[in-house]
């Protein structure tokens, strides 16, 4: 994704979200209930820095023919946060996200995907789904509500997230 696209995407999502959304910057301190978009042409990772978790950016070689690659980010958040991760895979081409979704699931985190009907390209979410790694799929017009619900629920009760009865997928077997 080119830099201008990621900046505009972050701005658009911020306008339509109940949680803050911004383009990632090196050294940014992470806080609960905030969302970050990897900047174009940079892999983004979550790294421990003293008592904080911060974003780290790099221009290492592409993975899955991508930079940024979501697998890079997903691996780092699985290692950093374990079961306290909600990964979201939305419309996109290729297999980027499958290996990272596996690591998030193995760590006890949740993975949701955009459904096929609302995806422009169901490559990325479709392959995560086909691999049995998605906890649920949602249409685009319900994705923001579901992300917000899950984030707020995890910050409140700390109980496992129930899959919405309107989900197009059944819960992943544990």
Question: Taking residues 119-143, what's their average pLDDT?
Answer: 97
Dist. CA 37–CA 163, nearest whole Å: 25
Residue 162: pLDDT band with limits 50, 70, 90: very low
**pLDDT at residue 84 greater than cutoff 60:** yes
Q: What is the pLDDT of residue 76?
A: 98
Could you tell me the fold of the domain covering 3-156?
Answer: Rossmann fold (3.40.50)
Identify the CA nearest to 105 among candidates 124, 82, 76, 89: 82
Top-confidence residue, 172 or 100:
100
Distance, C-alpha 2 to centroid of its chain: 18
Tokens found for residue 128: 């995560």
């Amino acid at each position: 994704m080119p830099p201008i696209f990621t900046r505009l995407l972050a701005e658009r999502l911020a306008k339509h979200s109940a949680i803050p959304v911004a383009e990632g910057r090196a050294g940014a301190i992470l806080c609960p209930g905030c969302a970050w978009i990897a900047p174009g042409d940079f892999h983004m990772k979550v790294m421990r820095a003293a008592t904080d978790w911060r974003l780290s950016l790099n221009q290492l070689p592409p993975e899955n023919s991508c930079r940024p690659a979501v697998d890079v980010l997903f691996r780092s958040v699985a290692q950093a946060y374990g079961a306290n991760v909600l990964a979201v895979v939305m419309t996109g081409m290729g297999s980027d996200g499958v290996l990272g979704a596996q690591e998030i699931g193995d760590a006890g985190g949740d993975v949701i995907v955009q459904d096929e009907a609302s995806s422009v390209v169901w490559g990325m979410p479709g392959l995560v789904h086909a691999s049995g790694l998605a906890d649920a799929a949602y249409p685009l017009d319900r994705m923001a509500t579901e992300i917000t619900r899950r984030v707020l629920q995890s910050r409140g009760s700390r109980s496992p997230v129930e899959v919405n009865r309107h989900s197009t997928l059944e819960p992943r077997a544990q």
